[in-house]
Chain A
Amino acid sequence: MQYLAPENTADAVALLSKSKGSVHVLAGGSDLLVRMKGGYVEPDVIVDIKHIKQMNGIKKTADGFIIGAAVSCAKLGEHVALRKAWPGVVEAANLIGSDQIQGRCTIVGNLCNASPAADSVPALIAANAVAVVHGPKGERDVDVAKIGTGPGKTSLKKGEVVESIRLPARSAKSADAYLRFTPRTEMDIAVVSAAVNLTLGAKGVIKDARVSLGAVAPRALLVPAAAKAIIGTTLDDAALAKLASACSAACNPIDDKRGTVAYRTKVAAVLGRRAAESAYARAGGKK
């Protein structure tokens, strides 16, 4: 096996494009090394992206935030402005694994590992985030919802790498929230998860919203019906009930070691509701 550590995105793309065999991008390694240990993958080439400058920072711009692909989730948690603008994205990122994992894992790794239960993905989808993808044919922007295509599968082509994630700028009275259910308080994988991102208009009426669910389908879902249920409301009980049933209706889960179809479907509604309440309160809504 070859370990390569390019220093810019172009070199990474070149290495990924020309390397033969089993080629893997290494960011935090918290998924890749686990799969290597289990013998599920035997890479011929590993391209470590942590030495690439463009991938190593969090930038606040007029258009929002640009988060480099190699930035650890712990760094997201330490970024005051990001935490203030996107508390849901940050809390989702910070739920991944232990402090030990936090020091290594990245939201781009979480996205590209393409687990339906990835914590940061529903939050990124709800946030309308964009992945900046570099490849042999140049740069393209991809809606984060379109990166994962199914468990362990992405839409990225040979030679492509996500350089960064772009989060939009925040308008006033906006907030997001992410909640997941796990049997343990830590060190667990989401059995179900929900992210809600919303913006309030006058008098606490929800002007805009996005709702996303994790671990209830082959990939994280955007649930427009759930958003519709609360837009134009002040998140009254009727709206919450409608949101909850829209969440359950959107579920298409499986029975597995972590949960059952029935359980996931029921709890998706609960988490959708609770996440909405949390986002609403954060955005300044009073009930």
Chain B
Amino acid sequence: MIDRRSRLQKFVEVEIPVLLIALFAIGPYVWMMLTSIKTDADIAAFPVRYLPTQVTFEHYRMLLERTTFSGNLLNSFIVALGACTLGLGVSIPAAYGFSRFRFPGRRVLMTQFLVINMFPIVLIIIPLFVLMRQMGLLDTVLGIVLGHSTFAIPFSIWMLTSYMNAIPGELDEAARIDGASRLQTLRLVILPVVLPGIVTTGIYIFVTSWNEYLFAMMLSGQNVRTVTVALQLFIGEFTVQWGLLTAGGTLIAIPVTILFLLVQKRLVGGLTAGAVKS
């Protein structure tokens, strides 16, 4: 698309609104970050002290040296990656099935996947705990990955189905005529075109798993404690460790943000168009 707007016009119409939205988005985060580099005295100071009188990385040092935080970060990463792999692995074929086939029970099955998510998961947590114990999955990576992908899968299937629906059917018909099998069509034709959707869905699963607390708290023990559970340990009965908590909160957002910065390049226009043309 050719943009005929002047630089100034674009600055006013695009960059300033984006700046405002970005400020809203990062405001509370910046506040958290500022808090994490203040001394405890500055944090408690009244009236509110905006900038630290003295920048300190003491909270980060304590967080990484004196608590299990770095190990928990790694656990979270493994769990989120596992949930991503499992989630996408089963959602992509399912979405393809829903998008490209008309078969009896399709609507019921699609609705079925949503129903899973309509039930407040907090209420199934105790039956689930008992089930996981019977399967011997308590305090294992697989147990948490299963728990997380369960409520990510329905969302993923629906999102991916809608992305795939946006791709013209002529594309796979052409491939089928050329003699490709269903799986080959999915792999060679659909996947490349729907990549932005897959990336988005992957991010969705990753973020959901990364941020999830309740399942992680219930299903994990000493072995695979995730970072959200570790953060919760800073909120005690009588005191809140603000320094540690904000330092942890600051760190926890970074991997996801970096991940997104890396993959956002995939979210550029023209992919579909190019594919249709060729």
Bound pair (A, B): no
- Interface, chain B (partner A; CB < 8 A): none
